Amino acid sequence: MPSATYRNLFSMGTRMDIVLPGIDDYFADQLLAVIKEQLTDIEDKISNYNDNSVFSELNREAASKPVIIDPDIFWMIEELAGLSEKTRCYFDFTIGKILEFERNKEAFHPGDDEQIKHLLENTGIKFLKTNRENLSVEFGSPFISLDSGAFGKGAALDIVKTVLNKKTVNTGFISFGESSILAIGSHPFGDSWKTAITDMFKPEVNVYVQDLKDQFLSVSGITPQNLKKYGTGHILNPKTAEPVKSFRQSAVAGEKGLVTEVLSTALLCAPEDERDAIMDNFPGYKVVIIEYDASYKSKIVYS
């Protein structure tokens, strides 16, 4: 490979690795400064861990009154609501209270089922009200809570792509937490960036290789590491509040990071007989779903 500059930064609690072939150190440092500034800005606006973020403000106040918000975040929320509908609501960024309840539940207690049922009945994008005239958002239920966990990295990579395009960077490879990828242009010695999805039980084995060129790739999955860390699947089906427990990966490639991130999560939750209908709403996007049997053998079950 011709000389390439490598940089990394941390954003949203995750490491981002950036490879820029043919870019000198001085220009790379300038790019990194702009990227870091813009990622810090978006994180400050959508992080649930920042009490002053737009999302936190909405979660505190929007159930009692319309809240006028930052224009960029307003249009992001509208786009996310549209994406939820297109995924048949297997992606839903309004279920923060359900996620919080499940994460804090150490063991089953009598009444938990009723509480979950009540939360499910009172969350969802059907309770999200937006007003384009004054860019305000209001919740039609006090049980709505916005959560950026399922789409934040995709939104961040869209910003990175915009920065690189404005600076006329024609080739590059960006990995955000090794599960969200942006490939700019082509590899210096090829017509694409070949990106492998590895077997979760045999990391030295590639289950699938995706050719990326000016595209994003998002991989979501339930892995042994997830189960060890969370005790159960860390991705909840927003229609049932049940965690996805089977060892499974979904990988989505396409032209927008936010969309690939949303789809890779939604397709983990969606039943087999609904996958085609969901993908019909996303022409140009490519998906691969990999499942592992009782002996941990991988198989591509949908593509």
Strand order through the sheet with 172-176 = 4-11, 14-21, 172-176, 180-184, 215-222, 248-254, 286-292, 298-302
Q: What pLDDT was estimated at residue 283?
A: 97
Q: How far apart are CA 66 and CA 169, in angstroms?
A: 41
Let me know whether 291 and 218 are in one domain: yes
Q: Is the pLDDT of residue 110 over 60?
A: no
CA end-to-end span of the chain: 32
The rounded percent of the chain whose pLDDT value lies above 90 is: 71
Q: Which of 139, 156, 180 is the last residue of a domain?
A: 139
Residue 175 forms beta bridges with which residues? 17, 181
Let me know whether 198 and 303 are in one domain: yes
Q: Is the pLDDT of residue 222 over 80?
A: no
Q: What pLDDT was estimated at residue 225?
A: 67
Let me know whether 197 and 262 are in one domain: yes
Compute CA distances 183 → 115, 156, 205, 220, whole Å: 44, 14, 22, 18
Let me know whether 109 and 196 are in one domain: no
What mean pLDDT do residues 32-45 have? 95
Q: What pLDDT was estimated at residue 98?
A: 84
- If one counts the domains in the chain, the total is 2
Q: Which of 139, 155, 177 is the last residue of a domain?
A: 139
C-alpha radius of gyration, the chain, whole number: 20
Identify the weakest region by mean pLDDT among 38-47, 115-124, 151-160.
115-124
Q: How far apart are CA 198 and CA 239, in angstroms?
A: 29
What mean pLDDT do residues 59-77 have? 97
Confidence band for 229, pLDDT divided at 50, 70 and 90: low
CATH no. for residue 255?
A: 3.10.520.10
Domain residues for the domain of 119 are: 54-139
Q: Is the pLDDT of residue 113 over 80?
A: no
Q: Is the pLDDT of residue 228 over 90?
A: no
C-alpha of 201 from chain center:
23
Domain assignment present for residue 125? The answer is yes
Let me know whether 135 and 230 are in one domain: no
Nearest to 92 by CA among 277, 227, 269, 253: 269
Q: What pLDDT was estimated at residue 115?
A: 81
Nearest to 239 by CA among 264, 284, 270: 270
Contact predicate 269/89, CB 8 Å: no
Q: Is the pLDDT of residue 3 over 80?
A: no
What mean pLDDT do residues 45-61 have? 95
Domain assignment present for residue 297? The answer is yes
Q: How far apart are CA 60 and CA 48, in angstroms?
A: 11
Confidence band for 107, pLDDT divided at 50, 70 and 90: very low
Confidence band for 212, pLDDT divided at 50, 70 and 90: very high
Domain assignment present for residue 255? The answer is yes
Domain assignment present for residue 278? The answer is yes
Mean pLDDT of the chain: 90
pLDDT tens track for 131-151: 999 999 999 999 999 999 889
Q: What pLDDT was estimated at residue 108?
A: 45
The rounded percent of the chain whose pLDDT value lies above 70 is: 91
C-alpha of 142 from chain center:
25
Q: Is the pLDDT of residue 76 over 90?
A: yes
**Running DSSP on this structure, what letter comes out for residue 103?**
H
Let me know whether 275 and 204 are in one domain: yes
